[in-house]
Amino acid sequence: MARTKYQVLADELAEAIGSGKLAPNARLPSVRELMQQHQLSLATVTNALHTLERQGLVEPRDKSGYFVKTVVQDEAPQAAAVPAAEALLSTRNWGPAQDLFPEQRWQSLLARVIRRHPFLSTRYAQGFGHPLLRAELARRSAENGCFLKEDELIVTQGATEALLLALRATTEAGARVLVQAPVGVLFGRLLETLSLVPVTITSGVDDPGFLPEVQAALEGEDAPKVFLLVANYHFPASALMPLIVKRNLLRLSEKHDVTIIEDDVYGDLQHEGARPLTLKSFDLKGNVVYVNSCSKTLAPGLRVGWLAAGRWRERVEYLKSASASSVSELSQLLLAEFLAEGSHVPHLRKIRKELKSRSDEYIALLQLTLGKTVKLGQVAGGYSFWLPLPPATPADAIQSQIRLHWPLLDAQDAPDSPQLVVVSKGMCINTSIALTDPLRQSLMSFCFYLRALY
């Protein structure tokens, strides 16, 4: 297969770095110089530079351009730290365990809605969502501090369509988009589909370096105008952006005229205390496009998502009306009724309690088996626990050991949701899956293997 122009340029620069022609800390030619030297477009050059950045060969420096990266040995691993930029992080169907959802309640509601509306399956779905569902979603938005109006909300086929609409409305092909590292497979595919260039922020949303890194990216050359992020319990570390950081990030976005696309699908999964506020809660100028769905909290199979597009509302409505997609009215009415009768309140209370109990059990088992070799943090929300791998251990070697020590994962009776995601610097454990005795024994065996490598 013929290489693209940006791959040719990236390979040429990588060869210069590998041969020593470009030494560590050496400054690369500017984007404009590369465009002139190679007769390439801006999008092609930026694609090549970000390919090198994702490979860990170069790094951007504030208002100075790109420099050959100096490799620094990591200090002792910290479980709470977000890993550095990686290639696409494959999550497969990374979701909460199926036994956490109120399936019997949904079956009862389904029968009732069908009795009331026997011809739903033969009707066209209403353009931007059923009025009953939009009204319930608007009422529920007060729980996370958004206070959205019905006509602000557009119902979509899950959060995936909502994110796609938001990106299509706010970007053009070749545009640079800020995104958190490691880039999840969904975000990566959306950016690739729309020919967008990811600019990764490697600091976790709860790290002190997060805002300075974002500010440097926004003040640099060819600064991105869109930031796609998860502020509440970002996968894989389940990191929660502090309230003061949310306020300051919104001020920063307003100063630089940056649109934030906020994916809040994990926001309802706090383990204790009040639900965290969203970035949308502080948005007075319509700079935040808010995205959510019921897939991680209420019912994955309904495929119902929604967004509030702020100042991009007309553009999103146009794109939605021009698309061939529609959301089943049956699914919309089911969710509307579930919310109207308040069934989500006791369910969320129950799932939060269960998620905390299960994550605590996982962490206790990890502490028992790993000892003091790794400093383990806590999970404040969501269902992901990040465990750093021993230095210089290939991910494929870890994967083979998982098959050896954790055979249940490859068995027919393995959990429906994936248990582990492995990348080059760590692995993510799905703590929503109940620890049965076979799983517990497999995890202990695997962790004893890991302990010998640290």
178-217 confidence digits (pLDDT tens)? 999 878 778 988 999 999 999 999 888 999 999 999 999 9
Classify residue 147: in a domain, yes or no: yes
Mean pLDDT of 56-61: 82
Instruction: Write down the H helix ranges in 141-198.
Output: 158-170, 185-193
CB atoms within 10 A of CB 345: 12
Average pLDDT, the chain: 84
Residue 202 lies in a domain: yes
Contact (CB, 8 A) for 39 and 230 = no
CA atoms of 193 and 321, how far apart (whole Å): 20
Q: What is the pLDDT of residue 423?
A: 63
Instruction: For residues 308 and 366, state if they share a domain.
Output: no
pLDDT, residue 116, reads 85
Choosing from 345, 364, 395, the residue where a domain stops is 345
Q: What is the pLDDT of residue 89?
A: 42
The answer to whether residue 283 sits within a structural domain is yes
Do 264 and 134 share a structural domain?
Answer: yes
For residue 406, the model assigns a pLDDT of 64
**How big, in percent rounded to 5, are the helix, strand and coil portions of the chain?**
45, 15, 40
Q: Please indicate whether residue 90 or residue 120 has the higher confidence score (pLDDT).
A: 120
Is residue 429 within 8 A of residue 420, CB to CB? The reply is: yes
Task: Give the model confidence (pLDDT) of 344-371 as tens digits.
Answer: 999 999 999 999 999 999 999 999 998 8
Spatial distance between the Cα atoms of 5 and 249, rounded to a whole number of angstroms: 35
Contact 352, 346 (CB under 8 A): no
- Is the pLDDT confidence value at 32 over 90? no
Question: 49 and 107 share a domain?
Answer: no
pLDDT at res. 176: 95
| Residue 355, domain extent | 348-451
Question: Is the Cβ–Cβ distance between 125 and 259 less than 8 Å?
Answer: no
Q: 412 and 293 in one domain?
A: no
Q: Are residues 291 and 401 in the same domain?
A: no
pLDDT in the model for residue 361: 94
Q: pLDDT higher for 402 or 17?
A: 17
The answer as to whether 242 is a domain residue is yes
Checking if the pLDDT of 87 tops 60, the result is no
Mean per-residue pLDDT for 94-113? 89
CATH number at 24 reads: 1.10.10.10
Residue 244 lies in a domain: yes
Q: Of the residues 345, 360, 393, which one is the last residue of a structural domain? A: 345
One-letter amino acid for residue 330 of the chain: L
Domain end: 345, 377, 402, which one?
A: 345
- pTM metric for this prediction: 0.78
Same domain, 144 and 20: no
Q: Is residue 110 domain-shared with residue 167, that is, in the same domain?
A: yes
Report residue 74's pLDDT band, with 50, 70 and 90 as the boundaries.
very low
Q: How far apart are CA 364 and CA 441, in angstroms?
A: 14
Q: How confident is the model at residue 91 (pLDDT cuts 50, 70, 90)?
A: very low
Q: Residue 306: pLDDT above 80?
A: yes
* Amino acid 83: pLDDT: 36
Q: Is residue 83 part of a domain?
A: no
Question: What CATH code is carried by the domain that includes residue 248?
Answer: 3.40.640.10
Domain count, the chain: 3
